[in-house]
A and B are shown apart, each in its own frame.
Chain A
Amino acid sequence: MQPALVERAMRGDEEAFASLAAQSADGCYALAYRILRDPHRAQDAAQRAMLGAWRDLPTLRDPARFDAWLHRLVVNACYVELRSERRWVARVRLTAADSPPEPDIAWAIAARDELDVAFRRLTSDQRAVVVLHHYLGYPLTDIATMLGVSEGTARSRLHRAVQRLRAALDQDEPSLAVTEERPA
Chain B
Amino acid sequence: MNVERPSGDFDPRIAAWLDLDPHRAPAELLDGVVATFPSIHQRHRSMAPAWSPRRRFIVTGAACAVALLVVATAVLAVTKPWSPTVGGFAPPATAPAISLVRDEWIVDDAVAVTITRDPADQTAHYWRAATYDVIGLHGWSVGPSTSATEPADVSLSDKTADDAGITGRSQITFSVQPGAFTGSTVLTPGTPITVDQPVTLTTTSAGGYLSRIVREGPGAYRVTALAGGASNASGATGIGALRGAGTHYPTEITERYLGIMPGTIGTNARVLEDRLVAQAAGTTPIDLVESIMQILRSNEYTYSTDVRSLQCESLSTVECFATFKQGFCQYYAPTMAVLLRDLHIPTRIVEGFLPGERTGDTEVIRDNNAHAWVEVYFPGYGWIPFDPTGANTSSQLPAALPS
Which A residues are within 8 Å of any B CB, using their own CB? 11-15, 17-19, 21-22, 25-30, 33-34, 39-41, 43-44, 46-48, 50-51, 54-55, 58, 67, 86-95, 97-101, 103-104, 107, 112, 115, 130-131, 133-139, 158-159, 162, 165-166, 169, 176, 179-180
Contacts and interface: CB of A to CB of B under 8 A. Distances in A.
Majority SS of interface residues in chain B?
loop
Contacts of B37: 14, 17-18, 54
B1 A43 contact: no
Given A33-B21, A97-B22, A158-B9, A25 B15 contact: no
B241 interface: no
Interface in B8-61: 9-34, 36-37, 40-41, 43-44, 47-48
A137 B44 contact: no
Given A19-B94, A94-B261, 7 more contacts: A22-B94, A30-B25, A34-B18, A100-B22, A107-B16, A133-B6, A169-B13
A15 B262 contact: no
B14 to A, nearest CB: 5
A18 B44 contact: no
Contacts of B77: none
A134 B11 contact: yes
Contacts of A165: 11, 14
B24 A29 contact: yes
B260 A90 contact: yes
B59 to A, nearest CB: 25
Contacts of B13: 169, 176, 179
A51 B133 contact: no
Contacts of A169: 13-14
B92 interface: yes
Interface string B254-278: 1110111111111000100000000
Nearest to B133: A94
Nearest to B258: A92
B25 A18 contact: no
Contacts of B195: none
B210 interface: no
14 contacts: A15-B92, A18-B37, A28-B25, A34-B21, A43-B25, A43-B28, A47-B29, A47-B137, A92-B255, A94-B143, A95-B28, A115-B17, A130-B14, A139-B6
B120 interface: no
A165 B261 CA distance: 33
Contact of A104 (B18, B20, B134, B143): B20
Name the interface size band of chain B: 35 or more
Given A94-B256, A130-B14, A134-B11, A51 B25 contact: no
Nearest to A132: B3
A184 to B, nearest CB: 14
A169 B12 CA distance: 12
B41 A14 contact: yes
B4 interface: yes
Contact of A12 (B20, B48, B92, B270): B48
Given A46-B29, A55-B40, A89 B265 contact: yes
Among B30, B40, B264, which residue has the most Cβ atoms of chain A within 10 A? B30
B94 to A, nearest CB: 4
Among B12, B20, B26, B254, which residue has the most Cβ atoms of chain A within 10 A? B26
Contacts of B9: 158-159, 162
A51 B33 CA distance: 6
Given A51-B33, A94-B134, A101-B20, A15 B143 contact: no
Nearest to B25: A29
Nearest to B47: A12
Contact of A18 (B26, B95, B264): B95
A176 B14 CA distance: 11
B22 A39 contact: yes
Contacts of A95: 26-28, 31, 134, 143-144
Contact of B254 (A18, A46, A92, A138): A92
B1 A55 contact: no
A14 B48 contact: yes
B80 interface: no
Contacts of B10: 133-134
A43 B29 contact: yes
B253 to A, nearest CB: 11
Nearest to B338: A89
A98 B40 contact: no
A135 to B, nearest CB: 4
A43 B24 CA distance: 11
